[in-house]
Structure 1
């Protein structure tokens, strides 16, 4: 990460305004073409509603959130969602987002590394994630220790006639820090 880049930290208790700030980050990333559940031009109200539901999940302990910058002015974020029941040994990495004006600074790599470390802390033995095809994301995750184990053909539809595969990745965790 570049000199002076913000440190990532886990959000234990979301602050007032965190949902609104997450929504604004999410909108900025979406409008820049980021592969985070929406396409440019999506309804901002829908994005803000999902951001509020995400913060509710963090408050309820159903998801863990890591932020770079401040909760009410995030430069980037990532979620880690622990499995339950038969999949309690794993956690899913979701919605890695970096503000468009901070991409290429190593912030995404730092957020992902923090998610891996948090996975170890919460006792996960395996991290999973999905990445939209037709983007640099599959190569990004592969370069950071995640192995592609499959694809879901046509897993997302960006527009009529523009279906993309979802690349499925996993990364086993051990306690030695590898």
Structure 2
């Protein structure tokens, strides 16, 4: 069964708990979403609060994918670029699909829904994202139409002696 993707779902305890649970599970399964395992929901909560503030200010939009039970199973955050010369593209952050749902095509569906949502935003012509090298995420994004446009060697320190490239990717929306 496909996920139901909603742009700007109502914010409340169920969404908060769902996103925190998803983010914790993805991180602890080795997902490259800003944390290194082991991590708890309480450690992730400050980042959620930061994103909530950005959402309330209209700087960030949440795209959430819900399973048939209404559980948050996937997310992506679209963030407007505030630089006056770069307002024609958005950042895509914290792209996650729950580990139990991986391998079902939901990641591709999430990226397609994010592109569709971005096309609906005034003046947006492209999506830009970064991903952690050495995870295979860059190959996945490339398979979904993103092009690598830059790479910063050893920019992400996962652990002492384990530095990864920060891979910059772009998806022109063809608007």
Whether TM exceeds 0.5 here: the answer is yes
Q: Is the 8 A contact 1:13 1:59 kept in 2?
A: no
| CA distance in structure 2 between the aligned counterparts of 1:157 and 1:42, rounded to whole angstroms | 16
d(CA) in 2 for partners of 1:65 and 1:58?
8
Kindly report which structure 2 residues correspond to 1:2-151, keeping only aligned pairs within 5 A, or say none: 4-69=1-66, 73-84=71-82, 85-122=84-121, 123-151=123-151
Give the deviation of 1:43 after TM superposition: 4.9
**Do the aligned residues in 2 keep the contact of 1:126 with 1:172 (CA within 8 Å)?**
yes
1:130 Cα deviation (Å)?
A: 0.4
Distance 1:12 1:69 in 2: 10
C-alpha contact (below 8 Å) 1:131/1:168 kept by paired residues: yes
**Cα 1:80–1:51, aligned 2, differ >3 Å: closer, same or farther?**
same
1:107-127 Cα deviation digits (max 9, x unpaired):
111111111111111031121
Uncovered stretches (5+) of structure 2, i.e. residues with no partner: none
- C-alpha separation between the residues in 2 aligned to 1:26 and 1:12? 17
The residue matched to 1:38 in structure 2 has which SS?
coil
Secondary structure of the 2:39 match is coil
CA RMSD of aligned residues (A): 1.8
Q: Is the 8 A contact 1:155 1:164 kept in 2?
A: yes
- For the 8 Å contact 2:133–2:167, the answer to whether it is kept is yes
Worse-superposed segment, 149-158 or 4-13: 4-13
Q: TM-score, normalised by structure 2?
A: 0.91
1 CA distance for matches of 2:81 and 2:30? 29
Residue 167 of structure 1 corresponds to 167
Contact persistence 1:18–1:55 (CA under 8 A): no
Structure 1 position 172, deviation (Å): 1.3
Q: How many positions carry a matched residue from both structures?
A: 172
